[in-house]
Amino acid sequence: VKEYLNEKKLLKDKKIERVVFNEITKKAVIFGIDNPRQIEPLLVDAYMARRALDYLVGFNISPILWTKLPGSKSAGRVQSVALKLITEREHEIELFNPEEFWTLSVNFSDDNKNSLLASIYQLNGKKIEKFSFRNKNEINKAIDEVKSKKFEISDISSKVVSRNPSGPFTTSTLQQVSSGRLGFGASRTMQIAQKLYQGIEIDGETIGLITYMRTDGTNLSKDAISSFRDYIKNEFGKEYLPESPLNYSGKKAKNAQEAHEAIRPTDIMRAPNTLKKYLSSDQHKLYDLIWCRALSSQMESAKFDRNTITIISSEKETVCKASGSVIKFDGFLKVIKDNKKDDEEDLLPEMSKGPVNIEKLLDEQHFTQPPPRYSEASLVKKLEELGIGRPSTYASIISVISTRGYAEAINKRFHPTDRGKLISAFLEKLFSKY
């Protein structure tokens, strides 16, 4: 717009500034207008570079595809790489040879009928690795050896371990978690987030509930952090508040421009349960996810008591270990329902040092698994790790791969179609330079 107005000579003696705001709230818009900035040439250059690549790939390579592989629609700068990842993974799966391995655990009991399941850590002075037992014969030999030994509990130790909260959402982490927790695809997540950002009508006023949802930054504004900290102190108490604000900007994605802050509620006082009647159920689920993740990112770590019982054989050559953890202080887990297993308290029975008997030995056969096919979430994660594409484009790129018939989603995993494999091989052979 500025260039165009310049050509028309309409900008003589006029001061040009750029106004930026990351959330559609009265306060943010007024603040943006009060604090304008100049157009940033570096960000404009980044855009020009992307556009040049789009032209090179889209305008020069796509037409070759149309003539050589009829029915193929396009080769885009990001979609071609995404397709390459999917076809490479398929190739790995086709070449994969499963390997057999066995695991052994032992059920011990003491004189008070307490029983304990322990895994073998060391056998006859040799540390047990994943492939220590490769077949039924080897595991049977190990079982006979363990059976012939006498065991006792040699050590019961306890230490406190912490688990830290995750940083607030960026576009890609929001798409990944929303896919895992809520089962929303990337484009559905983005559509709901767009609505929450643009604004929801609450008591006759339209209010933007979250900050801008296309971002690769994990930083939060100072205002937001201080309001989060007040909220944590008042709602949960001092012990849930870290001494100083937590900062997540060290964990940068490759090439992140960080032009916007992380995704967070515009006002933490609007707790999800107070908005239920204004939001659809999907909107409420996503807002709840964003609200909890942002608030918990400024809370104290959770602390667990991790107990380990070590059982050794009389000749000290064979060692078994059992461990369990009990939550000691819930910290950020008070807000976030985490699906990770270690929140369920795996309590170890009260046992004391001394001899124990073997109740039974449990051997299990396993086979190594091929690498999994990409889901929307893992594809987004991989593209971001490689620094390919921008957060705002992931959802549309993933849908392009499906709608053009280059890959199909079966059970939420991408399988490349024959056409997809062909295009990928074609591009790789003839345009590896690009």
- Catalytic residue at 240? no
Alpha-carbon dihedral sign for residues 186, 192, 196, 197: positive
Please give the Cα distance from 80 to 431 (Å, whole number).
Answer: 11
Catalytic annotation, pick one of 197, 212, 394, 406: 212
CB 406 within 8 A of CB 416: yes
d(CA 297, CA 224): 12
Instruction: Tell me the sheet residues that pair with 344.
Output: none
Distance from C-alpha of 146 to C-alpha of 358, rounded to nearest angstrom = 9
Give residues with Cβ within 8 angstroms of 163, minimum separation 6: 301, 302, 303, 304, 331, 333, 342
Residue 319, strand partner residues = 122, 312
Q: Which residues contact 432 (CB under 8 A, 6 or more apart)?
A: none
Please identify every residue annotated as catalytic.
212
